[in-house]
Amino acid sequence: MSGSTTGTPGWRTTWGPWAFALVFLLWQVSFQFVYGFLADPIQKEFGLTGFEAATLISAFLLTYGLMQVPAGILLDRVGVRRVLPLAGVGAGLSVGAFGLASDFGELLGARIAAGAFMAFAFPAMGKIARRQLPPGRFVLAMALADMSFGGGAVLVAGVTEFVDGSAWRELVQVQAVLGLILAAALWLALRPMSGGRAKGLETDAIGSSLRRALRRRSTLQGALLYAWGAGLTFGFGGYWNLKLEKACGCSAPQVSEHSTALFGGLALGMLIAGLLGDRSSRWRPALLGASISSVALVVALLLGSGPLPFLAVGILNFALGMTLGTCALAFAVAARDISTKEAATVVAIVNAAGCISGAFFGELPIWMGDGQASVFTVGVVYVGVALLGVGASWSLPPRRLATPS
C-alpha cells in the first residue's frame, strides 16, 4: 500500500528511483564486460593487433575512471533527475555506435564515449540513496550497487554461452536498444523525486562541492579504504591467478573457479557489510578486522598456492573476497557528514579511487620488475596494499560516529 494516504513516502518515491538506477548500472556493467567475451571475433573481423584489442579495454576503463568526478560535480549542480536520463541516452547511442563501427577508430571512439556517459551511473546512485532512502539504508544501497559489478559479469557470462561470437554486432545492438529503453524508464522513475526541484537536489556552484569534499578527512579515509578493496580485488586477484597456474599447474577452468570463489566471497562480504553497516559504531571494528585479515590471507595465498590442496586455496580466496567486501563501507565513511548537495561528488571521488587503484596496482608489479611481475614484486605490492587498508581503518575515530540523517 502506498504511503501517500498517511503522508509517509512510499516505495515509488524511495526505493523505486534507486532500483531503476541499479538496473541501469547492471546494463552498463554488461557492456563493460561483454567485450571480454567477444574480443576474439571482433579482433579477427577488424584485424586488430594485440595492442589495439587491449586499448579498447583500457580506453573504456580510463575514461570511466577519469569522468567520475566531473560526473559527480554535474549531478550535484544540475540534479540527478535531469542528468541521468540524458547520460543513459548518450550511453545507449554509444553502444549502438560500437555495434555499427567499421574500423578501429570508430570502435575506440564508441568505447571512449560509452565510458564517459556510463560514469554517471554510480555517483547518481549514491546521490539518490543519500537523498531518498532512510539514513540507515544508505550503506545497504551502496553495497548492493557494488555487488552489481559481479552480478553483471556473471550475467554476461551466462548470456554469451548461448550466443555465437560471430553475431557480436547483433548482441551489441540489442544492448543499445535496451539502454535507450532504460533511459526512458529512468526519466519516468525519477520524476517522483521532485515536483519541480526536489529537496536535496539543489544546484551548486561548479567545483564548490569538490573543494568541500576534498577538505574533509572522511572523504580521504573512504577513498583509501575503497582503494584497498579494489586494488587487492583487481590487482592481486589477477596476478595471483597467474602465479597459481604456474605454481600448481592448475588448468584454466580451475583458475576460473578460484576467481569465481574470490568474487563470490566479495559479493557476500558486501551484502553482509550493507546489512550490518546501518550502525556507524560497527564500521571501524569491521574494517579493522577485515583489513588485518586481508594481510594474513594475502600472505597465505602467496605462500600456499603451491603446497596447499586446490580446495584449501579456493577457500582462502573466498575468505579474502569476504574481507574485501567490507570496502563497501567506504562510501558510508566518506558520506557520514555530508549533505545531499555534494553526495554525488563524494561518491564519485571514492569510486574513482577504486578505479584508479585497480588499474595502478595491476601494473605496478610489472613496472617494479622491469616488465615482468615476479613473486617478490607481487608480494611487496599487495602486502603493502593490504597494510594500506589496515592504516586507513585504524585512522577511523574509535568513538561512535553520528549516522548521517
What is the tens place of the pLDDT at every residue in 129-177?
888 887 778 888 888 888 877 666 666 666 666 766 678 898 899 999 9
Residues 349/223, Cβ–Cβ less than 8 Å = yes
- Of residues 374 and 112, the one with the higher pLDDT is 112
Percentage of the chain modeled with pLDDT above 90:
33
pLDDT in tens, 236-255: 776 555 555 555 556 656 66
**Cα angle value 70/363/143 (rounded, 5°):** 50
> Fold identical between 10-203 and 210-394?
yes
pLDDT at residue 191 greater than cutoff 70: yes
Q: What is the pLDDT of residue 2?
A: 36
- Of residues 342 and 150, the one with the higher pLDDT is 342
* Least confidently predicted of 7-16, 300-309, 389-398: 7-16
pLDDT at residue 200 greater than cutoff 70: no
Domain parsing of the chain, residue ranges? 10-203, 210-394
* Least confidently predicted of 286-290, 330-334, 376-380: 376-380
One-letter amino acid at 177 equals: V
pLDDT at residue 403 greater than cutoff 70: no
- pTM score of the predicted model: 0.80
* Chain position carrying cell 575515530: 397
Q: How confident is the model at residue 202 (pLDDT cuts 50, 70, 90)?
A: very low
Compute the mean pLDDT over every residue in the chain, rounded to the nearest whole number. 81
- Of residues 401 and 173, the one with the higher pLDDT is 173
Q: How confident is the model at residue 364 (pLDDT cuts 50, 70, 90)?
A: confident
Phi/psi of residue 323, each to 5°? -65, -40
3-class secondary structure per residue, 274-298 = HHHCCCHHHHHHHHHHHHHHHHHHH
> Residue 140: helix, strand or coil by DSSP?
helix
Residue 323: CB atoms within 10 A of its CB come to: 27
**Cα angle value 119/25/38 (rounded, 5°):** 90
* Least confidently predicted of 49-53, 88-92, 220-224, 294-298: 49-53
Q: Which three cell numbers stand for residue 10?
A: 512510499
* Chain position carrying cell 577452468: 253
Burial group, residue 310, by CB count within 10 angstroms (0-12, 13-18, 19+): middle
Q: How many angstroms separate the CA atoms of 74 and 5, rounded?
A: 35
Q: What is the pLDDT of residue 209?
A: 67
In the CATH scheme, what is the homologous superfamily, with its name and number, of domain 210-394? Answer: MFS general substrate transporter like domains (1.20.1250.20)
Q: What is the pLDDT of residue 377?
A: 77
- Of residues 346 and 211, the one with the higher pLDDT is 346
Assign domain 10-203 to a CATH class. mainly alpha
Please give the average per-residue pLDDT across 190-194, as a whole number.
74
One-letter amino acid at 171 equals: L
Q: How many angstroms separate the CA atoms of 123 and 69, rounded?
A: 9
Q: What is the pLDDT of residue 70?
A: 93
Q: How many angstroms separate the CA atoms of 52 and 391, rounded?
A: 39
Residues 187/351, Cβ–Cβ less than 8 Å = no
Q: What is the pLDDT of residue 4?
A: 40
- Of residues 199 and 221, the one with the higher pLDDT is 221
Q: How confident is the model at residue 211 (pLDDT cuts 50, 70, 90)?
A: confident
Distance of CA 304 to the CA centre of its chain: 29
